[in-house]
Amino acid sequence: MLTLTPGATTLAMLETLWRQGLPARLDPATSGPVAAAAAQVRAAAEGGAAIYGVNTGFGKLASVKIAPEDTATLQRNLILSHACGVGEALDIPTTRLMMVLKLLSLGRGASGVQPQTVALIEAMLARGVIPLVPVQGSVGASGDLAPLAHMTAVMIGEGEAMLAGETVPGARALARAGLAPVTLGPKEGLALINGTQFSTALALTGLFDGWRLARESLVIAALSTDAIMGSTAPLRAEIHALRGHRGQIEVAQAMRALLEDSEIRESHREDDTRVQDPYCIRCAPQVLGAAIDLLRFAATTLETEANAVTDNPLVTPAGIISGGNFHAEPVAFAADIIALALAETGAIAQRRVALMVDPALSFDLPPFLTPDPGLNSGLMIAEVTSAALMSENKHLANPCSTDSTPTSANQEDHVSMAAHGARRLARMTGNLATILGIEALCAAQGVEFRAPHITSPQLQKALAAIRAASPALIADRYLAPDIRAAADLTRQGRLAQATTLEMTL
């Protein structure tokens, strides 16, 4: 059980929660501010002034005043009418992360929910009651209304939930877990569905996997450099210091360390007729470093958003104020930035694959990295697969944040499209994991063709991890399992773990 402090929860904690499926609860110190805000909302609901979302309709219907006796019905109707999501269900780990993010937002004490509502989310996480949330239907303002309505529907005994691997009606799931649905008080329904937690959860998972793959790409790029007998001169520190970008400097430093004491490198330091390597080798620090800088920029935005209050209106000491924190533009921009980093990391990796399989460019490696070309095709079509995935990621990297459309009778006339901007990232990281896995297979073949010279001690550890998943390709065989195994290696971060690579988000 992790105890979270709203406003101060780190990305590392969120990644641990997501990957390990741990239950979470808020710091008990949050109960006072949460209860105080709820009391402030109750008092406002009993007063005569019209306050949006407390005693009025929603969106274009905000001018309709709601009687105090209809407050509970208003909030229940909001959830039922907004649960309009379609498509496949969000995976369980990401749904749990979304629920954790909603806890962090409510725990700031500016949303006006009852303490028992917060406690129910904590209990659902602890007992494995995970709402079934369709992934399509949000435009990223006014918050992720449809996905979060499906989450909240289970809390009021409606909708569907996953429990012990089974899909069951929400009320039954709660009962089986020994929980009871809540009756929503004034503003509570709006507080629960107005927010960016669906989009932010998806963007965070893209960031977490993207960062892991960025680290893998450094190790594999270094191995590819040795496979084609590339020069380490472009990695020299003075080159990168003169430009000054943090990511570029760190990538060059990491690759120098990974390639240190490589016999392959030393074997061609003198009398090498080549003057310069292709850009996919020579400019690896510039490209991968820039991608890492983008991921770090997105990480800063998403850590802030994960701790933010993004519903509307907000409960403050000065009163209940209507604003626009539900607009997910920061998340949409972060998702677009992550997509660019993923696409370019894959693009330069694919060019290294193409380099290694081409005998005209690979510096005496056999065609398609097979010892008996002609009779065998080797890694010929693995390279084609990497090209297909690279191209797919290029298309997916087109920005989503620029694609606004008006909704809700033009009341919500500019939206962020953060939800599907973030949702595509899982597909992109899956593609990138496979591209890098194919590069790892090629680099391993190439390095082994340089015998009797061997690669560096660090890269030998990575090579051993590759060979544990995929034996050397001596003759053609059914390659799909090898590609899957190599992709799993990169997805799990196993190659960076095999080395002493140190680089943190």
Q: What is the DSSP string of 359-418?
A: TTTTTSPPGGG-SSBTTB-TTHHHHHHHHHHHHHHHHHTS-STT----BTTTTB-----H
Categorize the per-residue pLDDT at 505 as very low, low, confident or very high, splitting at 50, 70 and 90. confident
Q: What is the pTM of this model?
A: 0.96
Categorize the per-residue pLDDT at 356 as very low, low, confident or very high, splitting at 50, 70 and 90. very high
Q: For tokens 């107005």, what's the residue?
A: 194
Q: What is the pLDDT of residues 241-275, one digit of tens each?
A: 999 999 999 999 999 999 999 999 999 988 888 88
Percentage of residues of the chain with pLDDT beyond 70: 100
Q: Are 481 and 240 in contact (CB under 8 A)?
A: no
Report the run of H or E that residue 165 belongs to, with start and end: none
Q: How far apart are CA 54 and CA 424, in angstroms?
A: 35
Closest CA to 493 of 462, 470, 464, 456: 462
Q: State both tokens at 312.
A: 């509307």
**363 CB-side CA count, 13 A:** 22
Closest CA to 116 of 205, 192, 55: 192
Torsion of the alpha carbons at 104, 110, 114 and 117, rounded to the nearest 10: -20
Q: What is the pLDDT of residues 92-107, one digit of tens each?
A: 999 999 999 999 999 9
Q: What is the pLDDT of residues 162-183, one digit of tens each?
A: 999 999 999 999 999 999 999 9
Region 383-397: what's the mean pLDDT? 98
Q: What is the pLDDT of residues 281-302, one digit of tens each?
A: 999 999 999 999 999 999 999 9
Categorize the per-residue pLDDT at 89 as very low, low, confident or very high, splitting at 50, 70 and 90. very high
Alpha helices by DSSP H, listed for 232-328, are 237-243, 246-259, 263-267, 279-282, 284-306
Exposed / middle / buried, residue 410 (Cβ in 10 Å: 0-12, 13-18, 19+): exposed
Categorize the per-residue pLDDT at 3 as very low, low, confident or very high, splitting at 50, 70 and 90. very high
**71 CB-side CA count, 13 A:** 21
Looking at the predicted structure, is the pLDDT value of residue 404 above 90?
Answer: no
Report the run of H or E that residue 316 belongs to, with start and end: strand 314-316
Looking at the predicted structure, is the pLDDT value of residue 480 above 80?
Answer: yes
Angle at 230 between CA 228 and CA 235, to 5 degrees: 145
Looking at the predicted structure, is the pLDDT value of residue 46 above 90?
Answer: no
Q: Are 305 and 330 in contact (CB under 8 A)?
A: yes
β-strand pairing of 24-26 with 2-4: parallel
Looking at the predicted structure, is the pLDDT value of residue 454 above 90?
Answer: yes
How many other CB atoms are found less than 10 A from the CB of residue 215? 23
Residues marked active site are found at 52
Q: Are 22 and 2 in contact (CB under 8 A)?
A: yes
Looking at the predicted structure, is the pLDDT value of residue 61 above 90?
Answer: no
Return all residues near 131 (Cβ < 8 A) that are at least 6 apart.
Answer: 95, 99, 124, 150, 151, 153, 154, 155, 159, 160, 161, 162, 170
* pLDDT value of residue 449: 98
β-strand pairing of 319-321 with 314-316: antiparallel
Categorize the per-residue pLDDT at 406 as very low, low, confident or very high, splitting at 50, 70 and 90. confident
Q: State both tokens at 182.
A: 């809540």
Q: How far apart are CA 367 and CA 364, in angstroms?
A: 9
Could you give the 3-state DSSP secondary structure of residue 324? coil
Q: C-alpha 390: how far from its chain's center?
A: 18
